Amino acid sequence: MKKSLISLAIALSLSAGLSSGVVHAERLALRQNFNVDTMRTGPNGTSLRHTTQTVTDHGFDRATSVTNAAGKTATHAVSATNDATNGTHTREVSGTTFNGKSYSGESTLQKTSDGFTRDSTVTGPNGKTSTSNVSATVDRDNKTITKDISTTTPNGEVHNTTVVKQYSKAEGAAE
């Protein structure tokens, strides 16, 4: 169960970053190169975190390493790329846990004439893969977004759902 939750958390972090190419494009204009070192002390001791972000012409690359109080290191890397010509936004994630196990994921958002599609694949540290496919349609007349979502869990279970959400002009896509 715990490993499934880890895979779900990784999948959610991928999809959360890809919910809107427009939002990412706006953030890209504000993104900066940076290096940050942070020390945190908790009940298990002190951990050190180092993050470096480099802005690219069409996205960014970010690498984080965390060393815990026991001296073990975990890593997390994110690379995001926007292709305005093809209307795509791709995010790749990879890393290792404190126990040295690897995880990875990729999500591609493709703009369509009436919404978007998003295909995501995540391989957790247990080596099992989960996928998520979203097809979203924006109905500007009725101010709704309909998402047809299909998810395959690491155990092979398939879940399908449809979500319809009302939006105001401030929340929806520009007209």
DSSP 8-state symbol, 28: H
d(CA 74, CA 82): 27
Annotated domain spans of the chain: 2-32+82-166
Query: How confident is the model over 17-71, as pLDDT tens digits?
Result: 444 444 445 555 577 899 999 999 999 999 999 999 999 999 999 999 999 999 9
Tokens representing residue 77 in the block = 């890397």
DSSP string, 148-159: EEEEE-TTS-EE
Calculate the average pLDDT of the chain: 86
